[in-house]
Chain A
Amino acid sequence: MLGTKKYLLNNRGIYSLFSAFILIIVLITAVLLIIYLGLSSEIEARITSEQTSVLQQSNNVRNQIVSCWKEFSYDELSSRNVDSANLDIINKCVPNLASGYEIKSFGFFGCREDNWEFGNNANCNKRTSYLTNIIGSQGQKCLGQLLICFGD
């Protein structure tokens, strides 16, 4: 019996080692799972919120700005830029999702190089750009760029 007992004692030692090993594995796995869970949630959130929605939002904002202005022209852009009476109109053309936007005209094809800013374009987390036509004084369509600023 003693022999048997001794044998059992020896077996317990092996079991305890095995149990301890399993426990360590379980703990490590649990930690990894928690880390993975946290990271994957964050990755998924980033993917959906930033990469997808920013582009979509940006296109929507661009469409809102264009539909608000109907068309960009040197004359109207310049007059709105300096006319304080038109501030309300300007602000209406800045969609809520963006903090501001800038319109640049290029000096291509005999057009005047210029730029006009609306809203707050100072602290942009992200800027997206779209090409746009700007009507010149002779009715010609010049090349311009609409830069949308997404702030805090």
Chain B
Amino acid sequence: MSVSENFVGVVIITIVVLMGWMIIQTNNINQSINLAETNEIFYQQEKLNNDISVILKTTEPITNLTIEKIIGDLVYSRTTKINHAEQEINMKDYIERYLDSIFGKENYYLLIQPPLDRVRLIYVIDGSQTMQEHIEFIRNMLPELKINIQELYGSDRDLIVETKIYLLQGPREHDLSCEKMEMIDDCFDIPLAYEIGGLNNNQIFEIPDSNDLYTKYFSETIKNPLSEFFPGFIKNTEFPKGMSYEDWATGVAFVAKHIEERSIDNPEDPTMTIIIPISDEPTSGAEANKCFDLDNFFVGMPFIKCSLCAENDDESKERANKFLSHAINVLRDYDYLVFPMAMQPGHILPNPIINSLSPCNAYDSERGVHGSEDIRSFIINQMQQIADATGGQVLDFSDIEDDEIDESLLLDVFSEVIGNLTNLEFGTKKENIERFSIRRVFPLGNNSLANLTIWVYREREFHDILTFEAINLKPVPIIYTSENWGESPLNIFIDGRASWDPNASYPLMLEWKIIDNISKTIIYENDTNTHFEFEFSAPRDEIRTFDINLVVTDSTGLSASTTRQITISNTEPKMQLYVISIEDNHPDFEFRANLQTEQFLKNIDCRDEIKVVYISPEQLTCPESFIGCENTISNFDPNYNKNRDRIAAFRVGNFWGGAAAGYTRMGANVVFSTSNPNRKEVLAHELGHTYYACEEYNTSWWIQQDISLRRNGIVGGCINDFPKECGFDSTRVTGSNYFLGKAPTNINFVDGFCTGNSLGLFGSRLQHTLNCNDLATTEQNNIMLSNTCGNNIIDPQETVTTCFLDNRSQLLYDCPGSPVYNDFGELVGFSAMGGPLPTAQTFEHFYVGRMKDTINEMICGDN
């Protein structure tokens, strides 16, 4: 082999080696590039995570909430708008513009997905004759709809779709007379609606023959006068008729309640419930009320005669609206969405001969009963109301034949609905484009967590943050006045300097007007003062009101106004309230007493006619005695009027060794109250008793006092309503004042029960009327629960008082305690200590809700 051949061989081997090295080096470079890209994504994601945290923590000035909280509330409340100073603001658009300015328009996509494990579609179907064809259609369509929704939304988030059907079945099928008030009890033994079991893929529903749980539930719940259902559409309505198979609004309310009763909802199993009433009639039916009065007109033809009088019958509309408003009130307690479905009306065309004989003369031969424009617009209006109240929307198929409603049409509607309701999106979603993305959890308004996904597209990764044009909001005018009412003449300091502008568009211009509301004249006008004093006066024996009007204009020219009313009295007061101490040493007396008097007066509509007379401890005190204190005041002020005035006597601490924050007697003129600033509700509560208001926070005590008042000749007993909110809706034991309740399972009711629960003996131990046989008839282990508002209100200050009695022995008589007498000296029980007093929170809820009106009437009424 020659040298040259060896040389060539070496060269070739060298080239091969070098080529191999090049390949390895190229691979290294590729790996480096990949690593660099991975690192870049990692660090960019870290940066993006930081940026999104900053964005979400930023404070929005209109609501003074963080962006995170606002978005969470938007998702939770399923709304996009808020109202601010008479301006409606679309918060979603507002926040989207904010994000646009940061990331660049169409350069990002932000998705908030609240937790959702289940979508429950519950259909409440009008089971009337004209709906029969629709029912067939619905029966065939629903299974496929369910499957498609499951596929559409269940695939990427493990969503379960459930379907349940309630078919409304009216009493008229059984007896038309059920719709008459005097027969109403019998009607309730007939099922109003049937529950149809869960709908499987190929299952069709059938009406069960027997009266199952649903019937029992309905009878027990609706017949109970304390039931949430009862007052709205039977007891207190002037229109008891109805309760028929068309009553879809009541059916929806019932279903909502039914779901809750069965404890189907589990907070750890987030569920969206959509209730879909389906009908071609107004709730309670389209029949005129006059129809119900025709029993003897067309004997044996109830259905036909009822078809004659539907047109222009305002009474039946009012009846239907009563049912609707009650249903809406029930639904407000639930987080369920109602999507009413209006079907094409079935036209009922009665015999023309019969019609000519009709006393109603309201039949339209072409449009029939349900199909008239009048009734159709009424149906849609009703459905719109219930949809608006619950965040749903109306599915109006009233102009579409059934065979034209294909399943895809409904699927589109529900897809959009479920999609819109579950997710909140900002920016633009671009699937096939290079982007940085992060996913993280996001807090919602109900303490649950949603998923947050944000994409930032790489094509426009680097850009300047643009100017964000905030909503130019109106300024917020605020008027401060040193007094709002008083006796003439009254000098009042008026100040508008607290007015502000959310956009900081200062300076603000303030324009004042004071208007005499009687003469309608402007008595003061000024556009330079920010604050000033003004003397108001009223003629002798007159009460005058004045409007202070402030218009505030910001530097951009936007303005807003507010008005505050001043009342000046120059008349005899409706009541004089003497405020006095029973202790010489009473620190901050006027401040403490004022807290209590204000709490009382703020709920009195005629407060401007009540004169409060403060008597300082240095000036005078009164003894802790009803007669003694009243004598002190009558000697102090000859104008004291025993029939009109009240005396509030305060001490620093509690009474009766600390057991009571205040006390008085029914109908007395003097009340004793602690001046403890934390118990500012006590005076108002005790003053309520002086007007024969009974305990508004305790069912047992209310009953006790009501009985006592009636025995002592107070016609009508307690002036305030029975505080059923404090109690429970279970059945009252026949012939007694007791109610059934479930006892906690962790209490030993046999030995040592009373000693272990000594707090709860007052108010429930009405031994003189207790009949253990009553309790023995119950189904709840013969345990009775005394109920107070403490059971319903979460309040750490509240002493939750319950007392459990065991009919198997006389243990309750062995309980420790001292005799407790009512306001008329009757023994009502034994108490180890006093029962619960209302706290500020319970007071606000119950006093204002239940006692205010009656007290107002007593004090402010003409008599």
Residues of B within 8 A of A106 (CB): 465, 468
Instruction: Scan residues 47-90 of chain A and give those whose CB is less than 8 A from a CB of chain B.
Output: 47-48, 51-52, 55-56, 58-59, 62
| A131–B51 CB distance below 8 A | yes
Residue of B nearest to A36 (CB): B22
17 contacts between A and B (CB under 8 A): A18-B8, A25-B15, A33-B18, A47-B32, A47-B33, A52-B39, A52-B40, A55-B47, A58-B43, A108-B98, A110-B504, A130-B51, A131-B50, A131-B51, A140-B64, A141-B57, A143-B102
Pick from A15, A48, A132: contact of B36, CB below 8 A: A48
Given known contacts A55-B39, A109-B470, A133 and B504 CB-to-CB distance under 8 angstroms: no
A residues 1-56 near B (Cβ < 8 Å) are 15, 18-19, 22-23, 25-26, 29, 33, 36-37, 40, 43-44, 47-48, 51-52, 55-56
Q: How far is the CB of A30 from chain B (nearest CB, A)?
A: 8
Contact check, A36 vs B32: say whether CB atoms are below 8 A apart: no
Number of A-B contacts (CB under 8 A): 103
The answer to whether B25 touches A143, judged by C-beta atoms less than 8 angstroms apart, is no
> Are A43 and B29 in touch, CB under 8 angstroms?
yes
Q: Are A140 and B61 in contact (CB under 8 A)?
A: yes
A130 to chain B, nearest CB (A): 6
B785 to chain A, nearest CB (A): 47
Q: How far is the CB of B290 from chain A (nearest CB, A)?
A: 61
Residues of chain A having any CB pair with chain B under 8 Å:
15, 18-19, 22-23, 25-26, 29, 33, 36-37, 40, 43-44, 47-48, 51-52, 55-56, 58-59, 62, 106-110, 130-133, 136, 140-143, 145
B7 at the interface (CB under 8 A from A): yes
| Cα–Cα distance between A141 and B15 once the two chains are bound (Å) | 66
A51 / chain B contacts, CB cutoff of 8 Å:
36, 39-40
Rounded to whole angstroms, the CA-CA distance of A15 and B43 in the bound complex is 60
CB distance from B213 to the nearest CB of A (A): 54
Q: Does B625 have its Cβ within 8 Å of any Cβ on chain A?
A: no
- B interface residues, Cβ below 8 angstroms from A: 2, 4, 7-8, 11, 14-15, 18, 22, 25-26, 28-29, 32-33, 35-36, 39-40, 43-44, 46-47, 50-51, 54-55, 57-61, 64, 66, 98, 101-102, 465, 467-468, 470, 502-504
The 7 closest A-B pairs by CB, nearest first: A140-B59, A55-B43, A131-B54, A131-B51, A110-B61, A52-B39, A51-B36
- Complex Cα spacing A36 to B24, Å: 12
A130 touches B50 (CB 8 A): yes
| A131 close to B55 (CB less than 8 A) | yes
Determine whether the beta carbon of B43 is less than 8 Å from that of A108.
no
Cα A142 to Cα B504 with chains together (Å): 14
Query: Is B60 a contact of A109 with CB atoms below 8 Å?
Result: yes
Q: Is the CB of B36 within 8 A of A142?
A: no
Say whether B43 contacts A56, CB under 8 Å.
yes
Contact check, B44 vs A55: say whether CB atoms are below 8 A apart: yes
A48→B43 CA distance, assembly (Å): 14
Alpha-carbon gap, A140 to B60, bound state (A):
8
Contact of A108 among B36, B57, B468, B502 (CB under 8 A): B468
For B503, give the chain A residue with the smallest CB separation: A110
Flag if A52 contacts B58 (CB, 8 Å): no
User: Are B8 and A143 in contact (CB-based, < 8 A)?
Assistant: no
Contact of A52 among B2, B35, B46, B66 (CB under 8 A): B35
Known A-B contacts A47-B32, A109-B61; the reply to A56 vs B468 at CB < 8 A is no
In the complex, the answer to whether A59 meets B59 with C-beta atoms within 8 Å is no
A109 touches B32 (CB 8 A): no
* B54 and A143 contact, CB distance less than 8 A: yes
Give chain B's interface secondary structure class: helix
Cβ of B59 and Cβ of A130 under 8 Å apart? Answer: no
Counting chain A CB atoms within 10 Å of each CB, the highest count among B4, B29, B39, B43 belongs to: B43
Known contacts: A141-B57, A141-B58. The answer to whether A37 contacts B25 by CB under 8 A is yes
In the complex, the chain B residue whose C-beta lies closest to that of A140 is: B59
Are B503 and A130 neighbours in the complex by a CB distance under 8 Å?
no
| Nearest chain A CB to B647 CB, angstrom units | 46
- Taking the closest CB of chain B, its distance from the CB of A46, in whole angstroms, is 9
Distance in Å: Cβ of A19 to nearest Cβ of chain B: 5
Bound complex: CA of A48 vs CA of B7, how far in Å?
A: 40
**Which single member of B32, B39, B55 contacts A56 (CB below 8 Å)?**
B39
Q: Is the CB of B36 within 8 A of A47?
A: yes
Contact A22 B11 (CB under 8 A): yes
Given known contacts A36-B22, A130-B50, is B98 in contact with A19 (CB within 8 Å)?
Answer: no
Q: A15-B4, A40-B26 are in contact. List 17 more A-B contacts (CB 8 A).
A: A18-B8, A23-B11, A26-B15, A40-B28, A40-B29, A44-B28, A48-B36, A55-B40, A55-B44, A59-B47, A109-B58, A109-B59, A109-B60, A109-B61, A109-B470, A141-B59, A145-B465
Quote the shortest CB–CB distance from A35 to chain B (angstroms): 11
Most chain A beta-carbon neighbours within 10 Å: one of B11, B39, B59, B470: B59
Bound: A87/B14 CA distance, A: 63
Do the beta carbons of B51 and A19 come within 8 Å of each other? no
Given contacts A47-B33, A141-B66, contact A59 B60 (CB under 8 A): no
Query: Which residues of chain B are near A131, meaning CB under 8 Å?
Result: 50-51, 54-55, 102
Using Cβ atoms and an 8 Å threshold, which residues of chain B touch A108?
58, 98, 101, 468, 470
- Smallest CB gap from A33: residue in B: B18
Contact in complex: B47, A130 (CB < 8 Å): yes
Q: How far is the CB of B85 from chain A (nearest CB, A)?
A: 14
A37-B654 Cα distance, complex, nearest whole Å? 94
Q: Is A44 touching B504 in the complex (CB atoms < 8 A)? A: no
Contacts of B7 in A (CB 8 A): 19, 22
Contacts of B39 in A (CB 8 A): 51-52, 55-56
Q: How far is the CA of A11 from the CA of B843 in the complex (A)?
A: 121
Residues of chain B contacted by A29 (CB below 8 angstroms): 15, 18
- In the assembled complex, the Cα of A142 lies from the Cα of B8 at a distance in Å of 75
B59 surroundings in chain A (CB, below 8 A): 109, 136, 140-142
Closest A residue to B64 using CB positions: A140
Question: Could you say which residues of chain B place their CB within 8 Å of the CB of A47?
Answer: 29, 32-33, 36
A residues near B22, Cβ cutoff 8 Å: 33, 36
- A40 to B21, alpha carbons, bound, how many Å? 12
